[in-house]
Structure 1
Amino acid sequence: MTSISDQVLEFFCGPGGLGGLECAGLMLVSFSTSGITAMLGIGGGVLLLAVLASVLPIQVVVPVHGAIQLGSNATRVAVFRRNIDKSWLLTFGIGAAFGIYLGALVGPLPEPMLKVTLAFCLLLSLWPSPSAGRPPSGRLLFLTGWGTSFLTMFAGGTGPLVAAILIGRSGRQTVIGTHAALMSLQHSMKIAAFSFLGFQFDSWVPFITVMIACGYLGAAVGMRLSLRLPETLFRSAFRTVIVLLAARLIWTALFAA
């Protein structure tokens, strides 16, 4: 027979067996990583995914992470709503719908292969493009929506790859706001797909809600700091984070147990 404290702990921390300290630590991580993303436009979601993967059962990591990231990106949409380029949403969304559908049909793929592929795409995105400074083409938006949405059904953490098509094509605030809108669209579709496939989100709602609330506070702090970050430093930090994330993906794919 479980005590009342154990029942309260399970209610707020989910059925994954998290302890009180682990749950509190994840709340702090959500605050910090959301602040990082609000400052740089990328990076926080992948860091949060890595932490969640180390403490939660692997089969729940991607759907729970997707729900948390939907809330986190939605807060950035609200904060940067005036800077969103809405003309990019439809084409990306159509591609994302195809990618999510195909990912749901295919089922699990080898995780190391997905990680190396994602890392390669991230590094390739840093290659100078003759179209830099101009809005991404409809074809690029569709392919990015399709490819990243397919990958996110298995590995999650595709936010940096989506952001890569935006950097250098518009101002910092537009990059952050539009990226948040595109990722909100993708995560919404992913959650719908996992729900259709039978994942039970109900028992995780309190945990997800608390994580989103902590992420909202982190985004508010990160937004204020982002306004003080010089544009040149922002772009350098963006590229540095891309390289570090790609290196981490390759390392975990080749050497993680």
Structure 2
Amino acid sequence: MIPPLLLPDGMTEIVFAVLIFTSFAASFITVAFGIGGGGILLAVMATLVPPAALIPTHGVIQIGSNLGRALLTFAHVYWPALPAFAIGSVVGAAAGGAIVVSLPPAWVQIGVGGFVIWSVLSKPPKGLRDWPLLVGAISSFLTMFFGATGLFVATYTKSHKLPRHSHVATHAALMTVQHGVKTIAFGLLGFAFAQWWAFIIAMICAGFIGTLAGKLMLNRIDDRRFRLALDTILILLSVRLIYGGLRDLLW
């Protein structure tokens, strides 16, 4: 029996249980393979959470998930990647929040998916690692409409060619900053987080347990296998994004 306090209005116990398990699995996948959990969690939440609450609640949950991951791998964070990215995130979130009519989600999906596939199959631009402010601004602008831009940020992290532990740690730190800025923006725009806090905390706790389990897997794979797994997951998720965008446009 799940305490009623944890259930937002209209959410059943079965839906709650599915979302809790998904939060655990998403964090496990992200730590073990470097990316993918945020997109998976968003996809499941999109079918079970009211649209108006989807992006704001997903953002807060992702703060907890990424912050826990960053703290567990704190010694491996590549700090030079953060300052300019954080400034860009503020600019991007402010610009996104100022737009009343959102960008067509289908085009956002196709654009992000295509860019990520290109970055995996070809060498990222040599200067990508020198564009943290631009990457932060674009990804934070998109996350106000699309939610999970971890794929986009991963291309920036990947351009630094970091060892697997540093890649996971740095990406987690970058996403903590981005989701934090996004959550503040939604709060300023008037989203009422109050009735969702108990649910959000439960999801963050489940995600942290998944992070601990995923860290054990991360310690068992070498850099070559990690890179192969990372690229495979990036391509699969990008294909899913493009397919979803084309389906919305054509059907």
Q: Same fold (TM over 0.5)?
A: yes
Work out the CA distance in 1 between the residues paired with 2:41 and 2:125. Answer: 33
Q: How does 1:53-64 map to 2 (within 5 A)?
A: 53-64=46-57
Distance in 1 separating the partners of 2:212 and 2:181: 26
String of CA shifts for 1:40-63, please: whole Å, max 9, x gaps: 111000000000001111111111
* TM superposition score normalised by structure 1: 0.91
Q: Structure 1 residues 212-221 or 162-171, which shifts more?
A: 162-171
Question: SS state of the match for residue 146, structure 2?
Answer: coil
Q: Which runs of 5+ in 2 are unaligned?
A: none
* Aligned counterparts, 1:1-257, within 5 A: 8-9=3-4, 11-15=5-9, 17-107=10-100, 108-126=102-120, 127-129=122-124, 131=126, 136-137=129-130, 140-167=131-158, 169-256=161-248
Task: Name the CA distance, whole Å, in 2 between partners of 1:59 and 1:247.
Answer: 26
CA-CA distance at 1:89 after TM superposition: 1.0
Two-structure CA RMSD over aligned residues (Å): 1.7
The alpha-carbon deviation at position 161 of structure 1 amounts to 1.2
Q: Which runs of 5+ in 1 are unaligned?
A: none
What is the CA deviation profile of residues 16-45 of structure 1, one whole-angstrom value per residue up to 9, with x for unaligned ones?
A: x22101101111111011000011111000
Could you tell me whether the CA contact under 8 Å between 1:144 and 1:162 is conserved in 2? yes
* Aligned 8 A contact 1:125 1:161 in 2: no
Distance 1:189 1:129 in 2: 26
AA aligned to 1:174 is S
How much has 1:184 moved relative to structure 2?
Answer: 0.4
> How many residues are paired up?
246
Identity percentage over the alignment? Answer: 35
Task: Determine the C-alpha separation between the residues in 1 that align with 2:147 and 2:119.
Answer: 18
Which amino acid in the other structure matches residue 33 of structure 2? L
Give the secondary structure class of the aligned counterpart of 2:233.
Answer: helix
**Deviation at residue 130 of structure 1 after TM alignment:** 6.3
Matches of 1:160 and 1:110, distance apart in 2: 19
Following TM superposition, by how much is the alpha carbon of 1:172 offset from its aligned partner in structure 2, in angstroms?
A: 0.8
TM norm structure 2: 0.94
- Counterpart amino acid of 1:128? K
The 1:143/1:35 distance shift into structure 2, 3 A limit, reads same
Report the Cα distance in structure 2 between the residues aligned to 1:131 and 1:40, rounded to whole angstroms: 24
Report Cα offsets for 1:128-172 as digits up to 9, x if no partner: 14639xx921xx211110110000000011012111122252111
| Counterpart Cα distance in 2 of 1:162 and 1:22 | 30
